[in-house]
Amino acid sequence: MPDAHLRVFRGSAGEEGHFDEFDVPVEEGMVVLDALHWIQGHEAPDLAVRWNCKAAKCGSCSAEVDGRPRLTCKTRLSDYDLEEPITVEPMRAFPLIKDLVTDVSWNYEVNKTIQPFTPPADVPQQDWRWQQEDINRVQEYRKCIECFLCQDVCHVLRNHETDKPFMGPRFLVRAAGLEMHPIDQADRREYLKDSGGIGYCNITKCCTEVCPEHIKITDNAIIPLKERVADAYYDPLQWAWRRLRGGGGATGAGVELPVLQGDARPSDQTAE
Amino acid sequence: MADTTRPQNRPHDVLVIGAGGAGLRAAIAARDAGADVGLVCKSLLGKAHTVMAEGGVAAAMAHVAPTDTWQTHFRDTMVGGKYLNHPRMAQLHAQEAPDRVRELEYWGAVFDRTADGRILQRPFGGHSHPRLAHVGDRTGLEMIRTLQDRAVAAGIQVYMECTITRLISGPDGVTGAFGYWRTTGRPIAFPAKAVVLATGGVGKAYEVTSNSWEYSGDGDALAYAAGAELIDMEFVQFHPTGMVWPPGVRGLLVTEAVRGEGGILKNALGERFMWKYLPEERRHEYAATDEEAARWVTALSQGKETDARRPPELSTRDNVARAIYIEVKEGRGTPHGGVYLDISYLPAEHVRRKLPSMYEQFKELADVDITAGPMEVGPTTHYVMGGVRVEPDSGATTVPGLFAAGEVAGGMHGANRLGGNSLSDLLVFGARTGTSAAALAATREGDPHLDPVQVQAAARDLAAPLEREDGEDPYAIQRDLQAMMQRLVGIFRVEDDLKEAVRELAALRRRWTKVKVTGGRAFNPGWDLAFELGNLLTVSEAITRLALQRKESRGAHSRIDYPHTDDAKWGKRNGVAAKAPDGTMKVYTTPLPKMPDELQRLLAGDH
């Protein structure tokens, strides 16, 4: 088999960065992450790559291969023309740490602002019953492995288009999993509208295309959430009803999300 | 720019090292008990090994088999562990697992359901009843995400991509830990009143493994260096079914749920070979014919009860792994050196629904459609039964202030772990350990103190590989270690090989003391490996020396030169490795704790 020719981004935060080129011997079934490991083990031991499971279950090894956001552990070299170089770069939406590793801690900060699962106080757990078909949809959202490729490809986040924060597809999926849980009691609609910026999503479906878990992010998570928000805030009857009820049950409203920065690393815990 | 060589200082009541299931559950319990908790993990939160667990979490909830009880779960666990388990641990585990699973549901986990709307349970190897609560074949993901969300909501301080390199001790035991941020290389010191190890396993000592880079035996080695005892390290679980082809995915886990759902193992001649390998004393628990096994699978897939007994593929992992190894060794393997595992005789839709991630994994990585044809599988290093000796009720190690839970702790699983018992183990003992660590912390007056001499020594050791003028690349040493352990300390062991391995380990350690790392401090995987290699060498030595000491075959430890189980001599002894005053490793045995009569009676008639 011929060698694969990889162009790999090298550089650290605040540097210009460059591409190093490597010829990697190819074995059958090899994926891009295998090639990166070969480079670490033989030519560039300090090449920064994030990975864990190597089985598309942990979502650590996200990068951009020939410009497309991918899990490098399930991107096979045989899908590429090995006569041409394969370019591997870090995710662009997030601040660079080093080489292929970016600072994704912003995502963890956003996650903290979502009201967690809130079971009913008056139904004892031994009485909880629901059918498989009632949870199939929630289980689809919960397949998310937090690779953040959807966040990376989302043009709102990638191009830093807004001054106000947008939680991004990953966390709309998480919110959908909570909102549509059979017995969750929280109401996250005001949070989604005002804090999460759900209105920024204009349904281009790029996130769905890159999802390695094949979650139908836009159709099954974001659009139903948008409908719930619209029903609550833009349907005059519901709006009036909410005013009458005093808006009780709204949770997480008024929380401020951090804005994703393109260059700086706002959350570097090691700098304090 | 911060000074990346000056240590940060972050005191906590309880420091938990490792953020897989055990670490997260311990952190939550410690927080619930009122402690200020720091949680350190080498990777990003939610990426730890628990995320890869597939088949399910074992708990006798009796949703599918009404006759299941903690007593039957206890018995299965002891039988599977060849009676070498710490009986108190096996008891607590079986008794408390159902509550721990229900608690996850209360925190938002969404398990698959029975027809009457409760948590569904599936059969697994060595379990006498359908017992594993699950979410398709991604149960670990569901568990870690649920625990992660709970920990975040509880306000636990998480230190992501941070590696602990040393425990710091004082006259009263452990007082904290020292490590570094992987992102910047900056050192960080954690004074703590109690430290919980939850670092997982040791699989990276082997070439073919289902484990990630993180599994370098850090907790075992940290505890060993601090004076704790490691027990049962000779018992390394080789999971029977890893992928064997293509080479890039060799060792990747194929969940036991494939067999739990009816997967059949065949050799290249088309023989269903597991019939041959059922241990005589357990044969009565398994189907007698293909027809009976098929009836069991049909009933299972329709959610019906049956009097048919389970298929032979659901024997314990040690036994199935040995069987596959022998079939291949004797020339009845597939072209790529494995055997066939076939689930394609069931309806495609059913297979995709029950085993979605296996379907994806084979389609995407091996071009195999598991609904249309068989998989090729072979054994892969998966789990270590042994680990740091702990007190069952509290998770306390033999070193004051130091606790351990999950895979890094030894004793629970004896000589062989049943599938599904690790996820329940980490919940049960994670919770217990976190609670008792917080309780100890509450009794310790004043601020924890880190001996500056030890901290400085740790900082020097950490920096040394970066500062050496010349020396060997860590990757080369790791490759040689993995190949050696695979060759000499694998599924079948023999005295000469083990002695050779001890010599080789000494040579590898000499090479490691001169390891040199190129590049800087920031996110440098070579530097990470330089440190982890030292831990891998320690655990490899413990595995090898204890394998040499145990002159019998039991569970996952198979000696060619001692093929029989020797209950009289070895049935009630744990192998122990500990650090001698001169720094060398000493090995010895200690008697297994006596089993109370009421537990004895549960096993009566079964031995």
Chain-chain contact of A74 with B365 (C-beta, under 8 angstroms) = yes
Q: What is the mean pLDDT of residues A57-82?
A: 96
The answer to whether B410 touches B377, Cβ cutoff 8 Å, is: no
Chain B residue with the nearest C-alpha to that of A76: B365
Chain-chain contact of B519 with A132 (C-beta, under 8 angstroms) = no
Chain B residue with the nearest C-alpha to that of A212: B360
CB pairs under 8 A between A and B: 182
Catalytic residue, chosen from B75, B86, B259, B493, is: B259
DSSP secondary structure letters along B67-88? T--HHHHHHHHHHHTTT-S-HH
Q: Is a pLDDT exceeding 70 seen at residue A267?
A: no
The answer to whether A212 touches A219, Cβ cutoff 8 Å, is: no
Cα separation of A265 and B361, whole Å? 35
Q: What is the mean pLDDT of residues B483-511?
A: 98
Q: Confidence band (pLDDT; 50, 70, 90) for A271?
A: confident
Chain-chain contact of A128 with B181 (C-beta, under 8 angstroms) = no
Two tokens at A79?
């899908």
Residue given tokens 């027990």 in the structure block: B231
Q: Which of B46, B473, B523 sits opposite A48 (nearest CB)?
A: B523
Chain A residue with the nearest C-alpha to that of B162: A270
Q: Is a pLDDT exceeding 70 seen at residue A25?
A: yes
pLDDT value for A244? 67
Q: Is a pLDDT exceeding 90 seen at residue A259?
A: no
Cα separation of A99 and B519, whole Å? 12
**A128 phi/psi in degrees, rounded to 5:** -70, 125
Chain A residue with the nearest C-alpha to that of B519: A46
Chain-chain contact of B45 with A55 (C-beta, under 8 angstroms) = no
**Beta carbons within 8 Å of B355's beta carbon, 6+ residues apart:** B136, B137, B255, B257, B258, B261, B343, B370
Nearest to B235 by CA among B85, B104, B135, B88: B85
Q: Is a pLDDT exceeding 90 seen at residue A163?
A: no
pLDDT value for B566? 98
Residues of B in contact with A55 (CB under 8 A): 52, 249, 252-253, 361, 365
Write the pLDDT tens digit of every residue in B119-142.
999 999 999 999 999 999 999 999
pLDDT value for B305? 85
- How large is the greatest C-alpha to C-alpha distance in chain B, in angstroms? 70
Write the pLDDT tens digit of every residue in A132-151.
999 999 999 999 999 999 99
Residues of B in contact with A53 (CB under 8 A): 47, 49, 51-52, 212
More confident residue, B387 or B172: B387
Q: How far apart are the first and last CA of chain B?
A: 65
Q: List the single range of A230-239, A241-250, B305-314, B370-379 with lowest mean pLDDT.
A: A241-250
Q: Confidence band (pLDDT; 50, 70, 90) for B507?
A: very high
Q: Confidence band (pLDDT; 50, 70, 90) for A247?
A: very low
Q: What is the mean pLDDT of residues B166-181?
A: 96
Write the pLDDT tens digit of every residue in B184-239.
999 999 999 999 999 999 999 999 999 999 999 999 999 999 999 999 999 999 99
More confident residue, A249 or B95: B95
The answer to whether B412 touches B429, Cβ cutoff 8 Å, is: yes
Q: Is a pLDDT exceeding 50 seen at residue B103?
A: yes
Write the pLDDT tens digit of every residue in B376-434.
999 999 999 999 999 999 999 999 999 999 999 999 999 999 999 999 999 999 999 99
**Beta carbons within 8 Å of B2's beta carbon, 6+ residues apart:** A268, A270, A271, A272, B184, B186
pLDDT value for A252? 67
Catalytic residue, chosen from B73, B138, B239, B322, is: B239
Chain-chain contact of A116 with B150 (C-beta, under 8 angstroms) = yes
B49 annotated active-site: no
pLDDT value for B370? 97
Q: Is a pLDDT exceeding 80 seen at residue B86?
A: yes
Residues of B in contact with A266 (CB under 8 A): none
Two tokens at B580?
């001698």
Q: Is a pLDDT exceeding 80 seen at residue A261?
A: no
Q: Confidence band (pLDDT; 50, 70, 90) for A260?
A: confident
Chain-chain contact of A145 with B141 (C-beta, under 8 angstroms) = yes
DSSP-derived pairing of the beta strands B132-133 and B121-122: antiparallel
Q: Residue A76, SS3?
A: strand
Residues of B in contact with A34 (CB under 8 A): 248
User: How far off is chain A from B152, nearest CA to CA, in Å?
Assistant: 7
Chain-chain contact of B47 with A30 (C-beta, under 8 angstroms) = no
Q: What is the mean pLDDT of residues B331-349?
A: 96
B239 annotated active-site: yes
As a whole number, the mean pLDDT across chain B is 96
Where do the domains of chain A lie, and which CATH numbers do they carry? 4-102 (3.10.20.30), 105-271 (1.10.1060.10)
DSSP-derived pairing of the beta strands B573-579 and B230-231: antiparallel
Q: Is a pLDDT exceeding 50 seen at residue B53?
A: yes
DSSP-derived pairing of the beta strands B264-266 and B387-388: unpaired
Residues of B in contact with A125 (CB under 8 A): 102, 105-106
The helix-helix angle for B70-80 and B87-106 (nearest 10°) equals 130
Residues of B in contact with A29 (CB under 8 A): 245-249, 365-366
Chain A residue with the nearest C-alpha to that of B120: A132
Q: What is the mean pLDDT of residues B2-15?
A: 89
pLDDT value for A262? 67
User: How far off is chain B from A163, nearest CA to CA, in Å?
Assistant: 26
Q: Is a pLDDT exceeding 90 seen at residue B529?
A: yes
Reported as type and span, the H/E element at residue A69 is strand A68-71
Chain-chain contact of B138 with A57 (C-beta, under 8 angstroms) = yes
Q: Is a pLDDT exceeding 50 seen at residue B607?
A: no
Q: What is the mean pLDDT of residues A20-26?
A: 97
As a whole number, the mean pLDDT across chain A is 92
Residues of A in contact with B105 (CB under 8 A): 125, 128
pLDDT value for A240? 72
* Single-letter amino acid code for the residue at A226: K
Q: Which of A34, A103, A129 sits opposite B248 (nearest CB)?
A: A34
Two tokens at B217?
């035996």
Write the pLDDT tens digit of every residue in A33-52.
999 999 999 999 999 999 99
Q: Is a pLDDT exceeding 70 seen at residue A263?
A: no
Residues of A in contact with B245 (CB under 8 A): 28-29
Q: Is a pLDDT exceeding 60 seen at residue B512?
A: yes
User: How far off is chain B from A201, nearest CA to CA, in Å?
Assistant: 25
Write the DSSP symbol of residue B314. G
Where do the domains of chain B lie, and which CATH numbers do they carry? 8-238+382-452 (3.50.50.60), 239-381 (3.90.700.10), 465-563 (1.20.58.100)
Q: Is a pLDDT exceeding 80 seen at residue A239?
A: no
Q: Confidence band (pLDDT; 50, 70, 90) for B10?
A: very high
Chain-chain contact of B525 with A40 (C-beta, under 8 angstroms) = yes
Write the pLDDT tens digit of every residue in B430-468.
999 999 999 999 999 888 999 999 999 999 999 999 999
Chain A residue with the nearest C-alpha to that of B477: A41
3-state secondary structure B86-117: CHHHHHHHHHHHHHHHHHHHHCCCCCCECCCC
Q: What is the mean pLDDT of residues B541-560?
A: 98
